[in-house]
Structures are given as structure tokens and as C-alpha cells.
Chains A and B, each alone.
Chain A
């Protein structure tokens, strides 16, 4: 009995040991810098990781996510405004001794990209085993344990071949939380979940997959466009080493691309994990900020909800009532004010009477006047809004002041300390900052440098006056860019703040109307003889010549090359060319054309392309060939006979045909009834008569 018990204990201890081996401490690398300036100029005053989202700094969401998913040690890498981030973290619950997640803060001004960070990770050999790689602006509640298990399993079985597992969330194209700039297409092996191809789809109409990705021996692949890249990846320590080895890798994108392309050389693979029910998104621009904020308020990121106080701030409380309305403590609401739905209001904020607020987040200590209308407005802390202010789809940063009667149209940004108004309407897409735009250009190279430089230039700027037309009579701030003028200069910025606007309808329509093009060829039949193909080609060439206004010389060149390609004799060229030209108006205007309409369309064409004809119709035989093609055409188009004389007349006048040849053609002995009928046409008769007389008279003149 005792013996058995002992055995059990031993075995259980053994099991425990194994488990310890299997699951070493989970580490994470948190990159608290975006290495881009998409939130500029807002991030001039505050690093992106500290921007409030649902009244909580973004980095707190990431840290909460990491901790809840079981990370025990986190390295936070900061660069831009590192001291602020450090200060924030030291005050937060993460740096308390009770925190299950030990947070180390590493700062350096030398980090210029994700690559630099990971190279530093490698140099300092910070990671011991698989680690999580996230950015400081990721909001997520995904349970990664399943993905981690799979990752470890793969690593165990294939001896470190798989270096990374990327996390994706299923989400249909056009979904709000999908960032257009970050849209990816992934080709994967259905069975092994291996990533075969990873590409951004922005502004692509056709997606291209190289063939070699299908040679992996599997017989089932998946092409997925329904994935949202959560920017969370499980990396093996090799990832850091690979970044060191390939010093040109700057971003994760470079890395993924490099691994996939060099798969055969390096033998490394990347896998993916798709979650259907978690939430994960990166706040990469203001549009995403808008979507993620409203998702937080709508509780999609549960348990990271606004009222949860997961940052554990003292004296903080928030009530949650239906229609997703959250109120912090000390909020006062004036009479007749309505909070429609999805509204979050921080503590000690007071709201005047008869306000209407929907889908908005309002920070702490704000003062909002009467009759204010807010829709999709993001008001940060300590903001003052005067009476009769209207704000929609805009962001107002800390300590900004919006005076009475101001209207902020869509996608405006008021950066820190800006004052606007009173009584102006700010056009769509305006960005106002206390920093002068030129200043940004000045220290363009060193935008990652310390605050001191920024401070210095601020002094310089102070001298420049504010433009009252833009910011109002009492306004303070410089307009960075009006959205309407963004097409030429400052392209970077126009992409930045709000990202690309989502216009799904517009885009899909343009996609649809895209001509079938090469994708949908009219299948060329094998039996079609060369002459027919040639005819088609000539038709196409002329059509194009008409559409694109190609000069006659070029047309001749093209027809000549076609002639050689299809081995067509000169005689046939003539006949086909004539036929095609006479057909052209019919092609354009489908079928029912009266003879007069037909002439009206054809004659300009004839005149336009007379040089082309002259190039081919030189000898008398050529003219006869041309005429016979002419006859052939009209034999089929009986209704157009009245047009004949006009066309012949024009061709005669354009000196394509000589009178002698026309007469000879006319008097040719004809065999078929139809041809005889044709020659009896009145107009034609008259024309011939006229020609004869003209000839006679000219002969007479000559004599």
C-alpha cells in the first residue's frame, strides 16, 4: 500500500518535472514604438503606446493581454519618448511586486525598426525559449494557449523548422476592424497550417501566387482573404538570430517575406493560427482607432471592458448601463442631455444641458457646454467644449479647447493644447497642432531624437502667428493639412492619420466593371484560318487606332507586322482592309443603321485613314482588288446601297481610287445577278455617268 503510494508520488513528481521542461516561462517582447509617424502630429506630445483608447493607455491593453494569456516576463522596448513610457509603466500595476508578469523596460534611441529591437534581443540574449512578439498598440483578448501548444508541438516534431506562428482572426473583407492598409492575403497549406504566401493586397486588383508554393507535396491549399492580421506572433528564439543574420530585415513583413522566399535555402517555415472568437487588432491609424475604440465600448474585447478597471487605478469606478453607456464617478449631466448608445464618459466630467452624445468616448475632467452634439467623437482628458459644438468622427486630444459654436467635420484631429473657435466650421480632415508643420520637416531626420530638439524648435515657432481664418478668432494652433489638398504633396501624411478611407462599395464596383480582359479571352478556334484571324486583328487595330488616336504611320506598321505574322498576301491585305473599314460603322452602332447614318459615320473614318489606304492601294490591280472587296461588302448590305456612290466619290476625291479603275470595275463583265443589280443602283449609275463626263471633258481639255 505504502509502496504503491510512494510510486505514485514519484511518478507524479516526474510528470511535474516534464511539464516544467515542456513549459518554460513564457516571455514576451513588446515593442512600444510603431517606427512610423502615422499618428503624427499627435505623437509629438505623447508616444503612441500611451494614447488613450477608451480612457486607458493602449500599452495597458497589451500588457493585460500578455499577462492574462500567461506571459511571465515581458521586455518592453521603447524609443520615442521612452521616458514617458517608462514613467507610466513604473506607476502602473505591472511594476508592482505582486504582478505575475515581470516587466523589464529597455530604452534606446538607436532602435529604428523592429529589426533593431530583435537584434538587440539577440545580442543581449534575453529570450530563452519561444516568446510572444507584440506591438504597443495591439488590443486583444485572444487566448493564445492553443496556438502556443501547436507551435511547441511543431517545434518538437520538426526539429526547429517552424520559427514563427502568426495569429490571425477570421473577419470578412470590408469588416470595420480590418485595416485597409494592412489587408493581407495568405496562401496556406490546409493540413499543416503552414503559411506559403503572405502578401499585402492594398491597391492590387489581381493577386498573384507563384507556382512554387504549390509544390509542397500537399494537395489542398487555401487562399484566405478573410483574415485580419492581429500582429501577434509566437516566435522561437531563432527569430531574433535570423534578424541578426539578415541585417536588412526591418519589419516583420521583411522577415516573413524573407523566410518564405528563402524557405528552400534556410529551411525555415512559418505557420499560422486562426482564431474565430477572440479579438485582436492593431491600432495602426486613426480609422482603426475609431473602430477599435467602438469595439471596446461595445464589449467585443471582453473582459477588457471600460468598467473593468483592469489597470487597477485607485479610486476609479465606472457604471455600466444598457445601450453600452458607461459613466465614471462624478459625472454630471445637464438637463435634457441624451446619451444615445455606446458612450463612455470618464470621471469628473460635466456635460451641459440638451446635449446629444452617441458612439463617443469622453475622457476625464472634461467640461462640455450646452447643446453639444457628439457622434463618433473621441474626446481625451481635460478637454473643454463650448456650447453648440458639433463634432463627428473626430479626435480631440488632451487639454484642447473647442469654443462655442464650432463645428468639426469628419476626420478632424485637434492635437494637444489646441484652441479652436469660436464660431467656425472646420473642414473635413483638418489636423490642427500646436507644432508648426514646417518644424516637422526641419527635424525630419531626427524625429526620433529627444524632446529637447522639439522643445527648441517650439520656441522658434512661437513667433509665427496663428491664422484666425483657420482656427478661429481666439484659436491657437497650426493647420497641418486640409484633407482636400492631399493629392500631390505630403503624401505620407495623407495616408497616415486616418489611413485609407474604406470605400468598399466603390471599389467593388470598379472591380466589376473592369473589362474581362485577358482573363476572359474569346477562345480562338483552332479551325479559324489565318485570313480570318488577320481580319479580326486588323479590326482590333483600327478600333484601337480610333480609340487611342494612333497615327496612320503606326497603323500601317502594325498592319504590316500582322501581315507577316499571319502570312497574308498584299492582295488579301487590301481586300480585308477595305472590308474591315466598311464594316467598322456596323460594329460600332450594332445593326440598324440607315444608309445616311452609315455614310456619316464612315466618311470621317475614310478621310482619317486615307494615308493607310494609299500605302496599300498603289497599282491599278490594287484598286481593282479594293473595289471588289467594296462590291463584296455591299452585296451583303443591300440596304446600304444608296451610300455606295458617296463612298466611292470620297475615295475618288481622296485619290485612293482613280476614275479609270472605277470605270473599269463598273464595266467588268459580272456573273451574278446580285452584282448586276448592284450596278443598276441609281446613285451609282449617276456617279459613273458623272465620272464619264468628267473624263471626257478632261480629255477634251487635254486635246
Chain B
């Protein structure tokens, strides 16, 4: 086994609390499947047989009861529950499962929907014997109106600055605009090694990382790092160019071990030295291949730590962590699931219903006469009565839509009831909400009072 897959599925979805109030993020329906199915499927497609899923008790329970998911996912899921009350970061979670890690790992988040050819990332990891390989994609503009969002999108979020070398693969620099208030500064020695640096903004980190096992071991020694994206990755990127203090001294293993034992201070050095290191080194010495040109120094300038990124130019890559992204993902997944029938066989659909090919209808749905459903997703066991028009919307399971409703650009969470003749435009209706008859709502978030208290 070359890589162990680790799925981070404990996130609460703090950026879309209106949606995740009742359903944990991993289980949000996207195209009538729980969100976590997409990354699981991605792994399964490339042949993983086992995944460590780091999650909460709640999600584990929901996943084990979800029969459909069980049928679809044939991989062995090794659940590791982390306590919900403790505020554990992703790096903390990795540290938590360190005893299970035997090889290099592939970490991904449960909210990634992508059609990336995963081998692109893994090949980078293999080819350069990288410490870290990650996936990024061009950011997408979300075109749909987001319920409850007044006016234009709030001021542009703080941009991430990613510096890559000429080939566009090696990560040289990484910082967020917040940390760059007084300008961006780069050591000249880095620029001497990589004289042409492309600084890219407008990229989304897909939160998919290949990492050396040593990185996980390093985490156990450095308890101060709590987040992978926020701390570990920038640290590794920076560390590429700082001089390794321990490397010049020839040390044998026993010496090293005794030293790490006697040193109570955390081991700040990342020891990237695997068994076959010597062989690899020999190969590198004997090879005429070099990763750069322009100077005569050895490949990688002798650096042992290397971070790479695969940037997707085309294709789909979304992180479903905001309502806007959620809506966009729902709009796009029918394209991903082409092998699936758009209408579940057990759904009952009147013949006099107009349904666009870009819509999905879940199991056991009842769609009555004279309805029109376009560019929408309708979850299982939902009843749509006569003369209802649903456009550009997401309706989760168990929803009842009474006669004559017009639903446009909205998200209706499970078990809601939409009263007769209602007109909803760009609204978000929370779980179990009841919209009174003939209501006219535009651009509102309709949730229960208890949920409001929460926020």
C-alpha cells in the first residue's frame, strides 16, 4: 500500500450554519447524495480499498444508517470519532490518528467535489519525492443569487497568494493577504534559485494533500500546530528554503534516537529520511536530470523538503463550504453523475409534468400534474402538488410543496412544508419550517427561532 487515505469529515460547516443546523456538513445532500460520497467516490474510482474517516459520532451514525451510501461505497471505512466538544483542528486530528499511519498519506476534506485526475497530484508527489503535494484549482465565480444575501457579494475575501516556480508546480511561497499588510517580501536566495516566480491569486485550495509519513510524525512532536491548511502547509512551504541544521552532520540512527529522547524540547526539525533515501540519493547523483537550469547546482539545490501543487486549469473543483458553493455544486453535479438516471425509478411523476433534463428527482417522490421543474434537485420522499413551478432550486427530502407554488432560486431544507400558492424567490427555508399559504418571500432566510438563537 503506497498511500493511506484520510478523510476529514468532522467539520461543522461553520460558514453555512443555516444549512448545517440540522444536518452535518458531510451529510448535506448534493444531487441527492450526501456530500461525503463525492470524495469517497473519488478515492474509490482510483482504487483505494480503505479510508480512515475522521468524523464525529453523529456523522458516523448517520453514515452507517444511510443504506444508499453503504451500497455505493465498497471501500472499507475505518471510522475514527473525535470528541465534538474539543475544538480539534485538522492537524490535531492527524496527530490523533498517528498510530494508524503506516505509510505516506492522502488527506482530503469531505467537502471536495472534483473530477480531477487524482494521479496528477500523486504523480507529482512520487516524481519529486515530495514532502507535500496539493491540489488547487482556479476559483470559480458563483453566478447564482445566494438566499439571504443582500446586494452584491460582500467585499472580496482576503486573497491567498501562492508563489510557484516557472513550471507552475513547485510551491515557493504561500501567504494570505491578511499577513501581508506591509508588503510581500521574499528572500533573495530563493529568487536566485528560482528566478522566475509566478504569484497567483484567485486559486482555491481543494484541501487535498499528499504527505510524507514523516510529516505526521513531525506533527506528533509539535503539538502547537493545529490546522493543516492554516499552519502546517505554510510551515512546510517556508521550511523548504531554510537551511537544515541537522543534515550536514552525519548521524547514525541510534545517536539520533537517543538525542530525541533526551531532548525534552519539541523536535522542531522535520526529519525526512526514509530507508531508501540512500538509494534515491545515489540515483539523483548519477542522473543527469535536473529540476532547474541556469546554474550548476544539484537538482533541487540540495533541498530535502519539497512542496508541489497541481493547479487544475479546467474541470470541476468545488469546496462546498458556503451556501453559494452549495448551490453551485448542486447545479453542476448532474453533469458528474451521468451514469445515474436523473429520475429515481421509485419516484412517481405525472406524465403531465414538465421536467428539464438538468433536474434530479429522488426516490419515492410524488410529482403531480401541471408542474414544471427546471434546473433543480428534489430529494427523496418529497411531494410536489399541482401547478407548482420549481426553477433553479434545491429541495431536500421529505418536503411538501402545496399547489400553485412558485419556487425560484431557493433552498428548501428537509421536512419543510410550503403553503399553497406561495411564491419564494431566492429564499432559504430551514428544516421543518412551514411557510404559510400564499406567502410571498424574496431573498430571505427563513429558519426556526431556536436556530436563530444559535447564531
Contact = CB atoms under 8 A, between A and B. Distances in A.
Interface of A: 172-175, 185, 190, 201, 204-211, 214, 219-226, 504, 508, 511-514, 516, 519-520, 522-528, 590-592
A225 B196 contact: yes
Contact of B200 (A220, A512, A592): A220
B192 A206 contact: no
A653 B196 CA distance: 64
Please classify how large the interface on chain B is, using the bins under 10, 10 to 19, 20 to 34, 35 or more.
35 or more
A223 B224 contact: no
Contacts of A173: 191-192, 195, 294-295
Contact of B243 (A220, A513, A525): A513
Given A207-B185, A221-B199, A214 B161 contact: yes
Contact of B198 (A190, A207, A511, A525): A190
Q: Give the one of A514, A523, A590 with max B CB within 10 A.
A: A523
B207 interface: no
Q: Give the one of B192, B201, B224 with max A CB within 10 A.
A: B192
Q: Give the one of B183, B188, B231 with max A CB within 10 A.
A: B188
Contact of A219 (B196, B200, B239, B295): B200
Interface of B: 161, 163, 177, 180-189, 191-192, 195-202, 222-226, 231, 235, 238-239, 242-243, 259, 262-263, 268, 293-295
B188 A207 contact: yes
A421 B319 CA distance: 79
B191 A520 contact: no
Main secondary structure of the interface of B (DSSP, over half): mixed
Nearest to A170: B196
Contact of B184 (A214, A226, A522): A214
Please name the 6 residue pairs, one residue from A and one from B, whose CB atoms are nearest each other, closest first.
A172-B294, A525-B224, A226-B195, A511-B189, A219-B202, A591-B262
Contacts of B293: 172
Contacts of B181: 211
B266 to A, nearest CB: 9
Contact of A524 (B197, B224, B295): B224
Given A223-B163, A225-B191, A519-B242, A208 B183 contact: yes
28 contacts: A173-B191, A173-B192, A173-B195, A201-B188, A204-B188, A207-B185, A207-B191, A208-B185, A211-B181, A211-B184, A214-B199, A219-B200, A219-B201, A220-B201, A222-B198, A223-B163, A223-B186, A224-B197, A225-B188, A225-B192, A516-B242, A516-B243, A519-B238, A525-B223, A526-B226, A590-B259, A590-B263, A592-B262
A514 B189 CA distance: 10
A592 B180 CA distance: 43
Nearest to A190: B198
Contacts of A206: 185-188
B46 to A, nearest CB: 30
Contacts of B226: 525-526
Contacts of A221: 198-201
A206 B241 CA distance: 13
Nearest to A221: B199
A205 B196 contact: no
A443 to B, nearest CB: 39
B195 A220 contact: no
B166 to A, nearest CB: 9
A173 B186 CA distance: 15
Q: Give the one of B186, B238, B293 with max A CB within 10 A.
A: B186
Nearest to B268: A522
B178 to A, nearest CB: 11
Contacts of A520: 238-239, 242
A174 B188 contact: no
Contact of A523 (B163, B180, B225, B294): B225
A197 to B, nearest CB: 10
Nearest to B185: A208
A209 B198 contact: no
A514 B187 CA distance: 10
Contacts of A525: 223-226
A512 B192 CA distance: 11
A224 B186 contact: no
A226 B292 CA distance: 13
Contacts of B239: 520
A563 to B, nearest CB: 23
A568 B222 CA distance: 26
A219 B225 CA distance: 30
Contacts of A209: 183-186
A206 B187 CA distance: 4
Q: Give the one of B184, B262, B294 with max A CB within 10 A.
A: B184
Given A173-B295, A207-B186, A208-B184, A214 B191 contact: no
A222 B197 contact: yes
Contacts of A523: 222, 224-225, 231, 235
A220 B199 contact: yes
A226 B186 contact: no
A420 to B, nearest CB: 37
B95 to A, nearest CB: 13
Contacts of A214: 161, 184, 199, 201
A528 B238 CA distance: 23
Given A173-B191, A173-B192, A223 B199 contact: yes
A495 to B, nearest CB: 20
A344 to B, nearest CB: 28
